[in-house]
């Protein structure tokens, strides 16, 4: 049961060599100015390859350009997030 005032956790899945996928209905995509993008379909797929013509959303270009993502998440990896 969710407590009032506590945000619900949202899971962002990374598709292999594909987009970031957000299944939650309670997500808003906003630009750097705080303006919301209209979300036409769910789940939300966000571009990870940088080549989509519908940024920030995925349009499937990753499969046409042969996008290769970085390695999968590895527990206890020595890799550190960028700061």
Residue ranges per structural domain of the chain? 9-26+37-69
Per-residue pLDDT, 71: 73
Does the domain formed by 9-26+37-69 have CATH 3.40.5.90?
Answer: yes
Instruction: Give me the DSSP letters along 8-70.
Output: PP--EEEPTTS-EEE--SS---B-TTSPBPP--SSSEEE-SSS--TTTTB--SHHHHHT----
pLDDT in tens, 14-73: 999 999 999 998 899 999 999 999 999 999 999 999 999 999 999 999 999 999 987 777
Query: What is residue 1's predicted lDDT score, i.e. its pLDDT?
Result: 45
Residue 4's pLDDT band (cuts 50, 70, 90): low
């Amino acid at each position: 049961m969710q407590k009032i005032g506590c945000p619900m956790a949202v899971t962002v899945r990374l598709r292999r060599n594909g987009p970031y996928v957000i299944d939650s209905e309670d997500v808003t995509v906003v630009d750097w100015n705080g303006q919301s993008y209209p979300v036409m379909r769910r789940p939300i797929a966000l571009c990870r390859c940088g080549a989509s013509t519908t940024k920030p959303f995925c349009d499937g270009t990753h499969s046409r350009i042969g996008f290769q993502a970085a390695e999968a998440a590895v527990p206890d990896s020595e890799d550190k997030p960028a700061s």
